[in-house]
Chain A
Amino acid sequence: MVNMDTIAAIATANGSSGVGIIRISGEEAFPIADRVVRLPGGKNRLSDAKSHTIHYGFVCEGEESIDEALILLMRAPRSFTAEDTVELQCHGGMLVTRRVLEAVLRAGARLAEPGEFTKRAFLNGRIDLSQAEAVIDVIQAKNDYALRSSVMQLRGKVSEKIKEIRAKILLELAFIESALDDPEHISLDGYGEKLAEELIWVERELSALIRSAGNGRVVSEGIRTVILGKPNVGKSSLMNVLVGEERAIVTDVAGTTRDILEEHILLGGVSLNVMDTAGIRSTEDVVEKIGVSRAMEVAKEADLIIYVVDSSRPLDENDERIMEFIHDRKAIVLLNKTDLEPVVCAGEIAEKSGHEVILISAKEETGIERLGEEIRQMFFAGNIDFNDQVLITNVRHARALEQAYESIHMVEESIRTQMSEDFYSIDLMDAYETLGLIIGEAVEDDLVNEIFRKFCMGK
């Protein structure tokens, strides 16, 4: 948080950039760079090189080379942060840049907090006092955004799983602690073996999460896109066309889509994370209005809204609400079912919604290309704010999961080497805290509360 340890982060915006820069700053920047960079011909170490020089080499993880890179060296205080700084310029591309960052983190750097480079620059006297308030705003804003994106975009199942693992760890912690606190009432005899068994499950669950984090599935990368529209206007059919397979159950009966569908698709070369909100409304007792309201609630957090209108049915009050809703938002309007007799006029919709209208037929799969082209244009014109924190969030989460896994492993090590039980709690607590970071929960008095909730204490 306010540590002056060595930090690293991706310094370039994600997405279209051709070069990906990873910046490392702090006392350990050079040694860390030495650990991940292999210079051709087994030349000298970067630590021995002069300040403000550029080198050519390969970023490696173990024996494997991840990418070739130009390495910029800047020694303190002649750098932005006034600390030793190394910049690794790679070939870009989200995947490679992320892997390089991960390698740097494994080599001992900590992932920078949002705005932390700027903060250090300020604290080290590199930024003028008059800019201080701006710095504060940047940090606060970036934090808000990072917090929102890291917690909000966490996939529901991941979040649930982490909560489940944490609950398990907390229970074990509370048991150890209550026994230490009240040894005459609660015995720890044979507890090590029992805990070791419980930890097998924790380890397995954490490994599964780490694997999925590797695939970028802890949080969804891509432009958060929500499809809005009244029931049975063809949202699910559109989804199917976009995804290219029959995923949603599509019938002519309104409200047959039951689950929230979330799909990762590539359209016009842009990565979209599409949510079909149709399933949000519950199935039977539904007043249509409620369903639409709830969908709009979800759409508030979206980067892009796709509004689907059925051209064969007249506009109603729900459409009016949606059009008003999307008026000042990033949105694309699709007039669907153009294969049927139209009763709705595209001009009217364009005027009311403030967006251009694209005619499509999901059934006939016409107009989809234009949709792709429109998204592509919006993206490259910078009209859609791509959430570049998502990528970072994934790295952060992956790192936290790995750390938690390491902590659990250390508990097992303590059990194996017959350390006494109070040593287990040191690493269990570390794992608990680290996992809490992912779902945005602080520790506070969790442990003490759990002790009293679950175990009957003395006197």
Chain B
Amino acid sequence: MPYIEETYDIVVVGAGHAGCEAALAAARLGFETIMFTVSVDSIALMPCNPNIGGSSKGHLVRELDALGGEMGKNIDKTFIQSKMLNESKGPAVHSLRAQADKQAYTASMRHVLENTDHLTIRQAEVSEILTVAVGDGQKRKKIAGVKTHSGAVYHCRAVILATGVYLCARCVYGEVSTPTGPNGLQASGYLSDSLRANGIELYRFKTGTPARVDRRSIDFSKMEEQPGDRRIVPFSFSTDPDSIQKEQVSCWLTYTNKKTHEIIRANLDRSPLFCGAIEGTGPRYCPSIEDKVVKFPDKERHQIFVEPEGNYTNEMYLSGMSSSLPEDVQFAMYRTVPGLEHVKIVRNAYAIEYDCINPRQLNASLEFKEIEGLFSGGQFNGSSGYEEAAVQGFMAGVNAVRKLQGKDPVILDRSQAYIGVLIDDLVTKENHEPYRMMTSRAEYRLLLRQDNADLRLREIGYEIGLVTEEQYQYVLWKEQAIEQEIKRLESTTIGVNEEVQKFLEMHESTLLKSGITLAELVRRPELDYEMLAEIDGGRPKLPFDIIEQVNINLKYEGYIKRQKKQVEQFKKLERKKLPHDLDYTLVKSLRREAVQKLNLFKPLNIGQASRISGVSPADISVLLIYLEQRAAALKHGTAEKPSEEEHHV
């Protein structure tokens, strides 16, 4: 008999970036939530790179913030450098990235969690999930609770698994292999077996991290300084930009060289990645330095960014040099790099292997198809990265709550958010490596910009209950203000006069032959909204975020219209729902491969079905007709039970 029994609404397993968002969302929505972690000191730990955001990941953070998540606010409180990437490119690929003070990030998130009502934090290892069978079915189950390694049982109505890289984790470098999570933290050795016993299919993935080195042992004079932006843009839509302008810390750029590569090549046989000691699948986008040297033999050098880990530590992160080579080789290779000749390693680089799930087993709500009330998020779902984890944790938390509320899940589609792209990819595509967000994965990226995440998602966050009335009202006002200003520009004609011609000449823009609207001038590549202030006397005073939207909407109008049209087509297919209990073997004329795949993935709608590889356009036609047939048959069925209204039709 268990010696402790408690009951909660929701149990969250794990306190990383996914676990934190899940627990906060659930508790803030008023549900009694308990969050388990193997170490309370490691809440919201950043065990790898010391930054939040980056290309497309920055988009995720902003979207999460617009929905009512915490990550954006937390990094705004704890960053030590900030940069908008791709500023010279189009607005769709601008991406914010901030260097974090890791300790401050962890402490600040912990402070928020500890002071959230309805949220209990518990240090314990969950070793089992408890399920009961549903109905008479053999296969479908329902979650009942969890059991810890110490024998305590917690009953609950929903469980969110966010175990990150801790399931049967193993850290490896050279001949050294330790059965722990990152930083020597205790791994979860038992839960995998319980999951398998409940019919969950597990994968083994791998990732890695570079060494941390002592700042005092680095010669920065041999490196290029990488300062932050002069004007800092916050992640959170609710952070006042003026409140976060501050002194920033620099990162540093240096390079590997021939000597480095020689050392790596000479020692490949001692790398567990190459000698077969690691079986897990690693991510292609963040390869170890030995991977890079082997795969790109022609590259004479690779970049290394030396990044501070925080304000109160001398540890520096060697971005670009993750490795699992033996300790002595690590020393030798790092010391060939300019500026690192006398480097002292504080923590070795290592690779880590862990259990995660095949995410095909999840619905787009992140609930397991076969186990009601069991949700999951983060690296456990086969993704990678803090930001990818956080957004999934949040969605899992929200949808667990909605399940208990008896509401439909919130599912963002590919035209609404990067979050939608991420989750849709996870649940409909065969995933064979840790999944990382990339802007090229988003078909409608011109619409999914980081600058308009609030316009896209505040309303949904408000409906969920995690966005305040005030925040929501601001977005409504903002929308209106943008529309009004665009209207004004479209309808204000500038006549030909000396002042205007002089202005155009100065900006090397074609002179006017007849009157032109202000909107037309904004659209010219060499001009923009702000420049036109000189000749636009009647303009209202507007905040920067509105000016930005006006400018983008006018300048890229043609492209935006095209994408919106594509989205319309896309939406038509997304709206055609497929019954979740449909047995595709019963649908006549589907190709065998399509039947197999469809039964495996159980897509939510026709759109999702069309993205599954092995399902052809003809199969989609067949499904559409099948749906019509079914709808008609159902209608026919009800007509047999005579009802008053039906008779009049």
B395 at the interface (CB under 8 A from A): no
B88, B319, B438: which contacts A177 (Cβ < 8 A)?
B438
Which of A292-306 touch B at CB < 8 Å?
A: none
The answer to whether B286 and A457 touch across the interface, beta carbons within 8 angstroms, is yes
Q: CA–CA, A448 to B432, complex, Å?
A: 13
Q: CA–CA, A425 to B629, complex, Å?
A: 40
> Which residues of A have CB within 8 Å of B299?
456
Q: CA–CA, A133 to B628, complex, Å?
A: 11
B403 to chain A, nearest CB (A): 31
Q: CA–CA, A418 to B523, complex, Å?
A: 12
The answer to whether B319 and A139 touch across the interface, beta carbons within 8 angstroms, is no
The answer to whether B92 and A422 touch across the interface, beta carbons within 8 angstroms, is yes
Q: Which residue of A lies closest to B97 (CB)?
A: A184
The answer to whether B56 and A119 touch across the interface, beta carbons within 8 angstroms, is no
Given known A-B contacts A123-B625, A448-B441, A136 and B286 have beta carbons under 8 A apart = no
The answer to whether A132 and B628 touch across the interface, beta carbons within 8 angstroms, is yes
Q: Which residue of B lies closest to A421 (CB)?
A: B89
A441 to chain B, nearest CB (A): 12
The answer to whether B285 and A140 touch across the interface, beta carbons within 8 angstroms, is no
Of the candidates A113, A133, A420, A459, the one having the most CB atoms from chain B within 10 angstroms of its own CB is: A459
Q: Which residue of B lies closest to A176 (CB)?
A: B440
Q: CA–CA, A386 to B372, complex, Å?
A: 56
Given known A-B contacts A2-B572, A135-B625, A420 and B89 have beta carbons under 8 A apart = yes
A1 at the interface (CB under 8 A from B): yes
The answer to whether A180 and B589 touch across the interface, beta carbons within 8 angstroms, is no
The answer to whether B625 and A180 touch across the interface, beta carbons within 8 angstroms, is no
> Which residues of B have CB within 8 Å of A182?
55
Given known A-B contacts A180-B55, A422-B92, A129 and B292 have beta carbons under 8 A apart = no
Q: CA–CA, A422 to B446, complex, Å?
A: 9
Q: Which residue of A lies closest to B632 (CB)?
A: A129
A418 to chain B, nearest CB (A): 5
Stretch at the interface among B117-125, B345-353, B476-484, B616-624: B616-624
Which of B521-559 touch A at CB < 8 Å?
A: 525, 559
A133, A140, A423, A458: which contacts B559 (Cβ < 8 A)?
A423
Q: CA–CA, A14 to B287, complex, Å?
A: 57
The answer to whether A122 and B625 touch across the interface, beta carbons within 8 angstroms, is yes
The answer to whether A3 and B569 touch across the interface, beta carbons within 8 angstroms, is yes
A1, A143, A183: which contacts B610 (Cβ < 8 A)?
A1
Given known A-B contacts A2-B624, A129-B629, A177 and B286 have beta carbons under 8 A apart = no
Given known A-B contacts A456-B292, A456-B299, A420 and B618 have beta carbons under 8 A apart = no
The answer to whether A448 and B286 touch across the interface, beta carbons within 8 angstroms, is no
> Which residues of B have CB within 8 Å of A180?
55, 86, 89, 93, 439-440
The answer to whether A181 and B438 touch across the interface, beta carbons within 8 angstroms, is yes
A48 at the interface (CB under 8 A from B): no
Which of A11-37 touch B at CB < 8 Å?
A: none
Which of A434-459 touch B at CB < 8 Å?
A: 442, 444-445, 447-448, 451-452, 456-459
Q: Mark A169-183, 1 if CB is under 8 A from B, else 0.
A: 000000001001111
B255 to chain A, nearest CB (A): 11
Of the candidates B93, B295, B569, B617, the one having the most CB atoms from chain A within 10 angstroms of its own CB is: B93
A208 at the interface (CB under 8 A from B): no
Q: Which residue of A lies closest to B288 (CB)?
A: A459
The answer to whether B86 and A183 touch across the interface, beta carbons within 8 angstroms, is yes
Grouping DSSP codes into helix (H, G, I), strand (E, B) and loop, the A interface class, with mixed when no group exceeds half, is helix
A185 at the interface (CB under 8 A from B): yes
The answer to whether A452 and B86 touch across the interface, beta carbons within 8 angstroms, is no
B296 at the interface (CB under 8 A from A): yes
A140, A147, A421, A447: which contacts B589 (Cβ < 8 A)?
A140
The answer to whether A129 and B633 touch across the interface, beta carbons within 8 angstroms, is yes
Q: CA–CA, A115 to B621, complex, Å?
A: 10
B281 at the interface (CB under 8 A from A): no
A191 to chain B, nearest CB (A): 11
B305 at the interface (CB under 8 A from A): yes
The answer to whether B295 and A183 touch across the interface, beta carbons within 8 angstroms, is no
The answer to whether B305 and A184 touch across the interface, beta carbons within 8 angstroms, is yes
Given known A-B contacts A2-B624, A119-B625, A457-B287, A445 and B49 have beta carbons under 8 A apart = no
> Which residues of A have CB within 8 Å of B287?
456-457, 459
Q: CA–CA, A193 to B503, complex, Å?
A: 29
Q: CA–CA, A72 to B227, complex, Å?
A: 71
A26 to chain B, nearest CB (A): 14
Which of A266-323 touch B at CB < 8 Å?
A: none
> Which residues of B have CB within 8 Å of A444?
613
> Which residues of A have CB within 8 Å of B49?
459
B429 at the interface (CB under 8 A from A): yes
Q: Which residue of A lies closest to B209 (CB)?
A: A459
A419 at the interface (CB under 8 A from B): yes
Q: CA–CA, A418 to B86, complex, Å?
A: 16
Q: Which residue of A lies closest to B88 (CB)?
A: A420
B550 to chain A, nearest CB (A): 19
B573 at the interface (CB under 8 A from A): yes
B206 to chain A, nearest CB (A): 14
Q: Which residue of B lies closest to A122 (CB)?
A: B625
Given known A-B contacts A2-B624, A115-B621, A459 and B285 have beta carbons under 8 A apart = yes
Q: CA–CA, A2 to B86, complex, Å?
A: 37
Apart from the given pairs A180-B93, A185-B303, 4 other A-B contacts in the complex at a CB distance below 8 Å:
A139-B618, A180-B89, A425-B440, A426-B562
Q: A-B pairs with the 8 shortest C-beta distances?
A: A459-B286, A143-B618, A452-B284, A177-B440, A420-B90, A420-B89, A422-B90, A136-B589
A and B contact pairs by CB, cutoff 8 A, 24 listed: A1-B617, A1-B620, A2-B606, A113-B621, A119-B625, A132-B625, A133-B588, A137-B589, A180-B55, A180-B440, A181-B438, A182-B55, A183-B86, A419-B90, A421-B90, A426-B559, A426-B562, A444-B613, A456-B295, A456-B299, A458-B286, A458-B320, A459-B49, A459-B287
Identify the A interface with B (CB < 8 A): 1-4, 113, 115, 119, 122-123, 129, 132-133, 135-137, 139-140, 143-144, 147, 177, 180-185, 188, 417-423, 425-426, 442, 444-445, 447-448, 451-452, 456-459
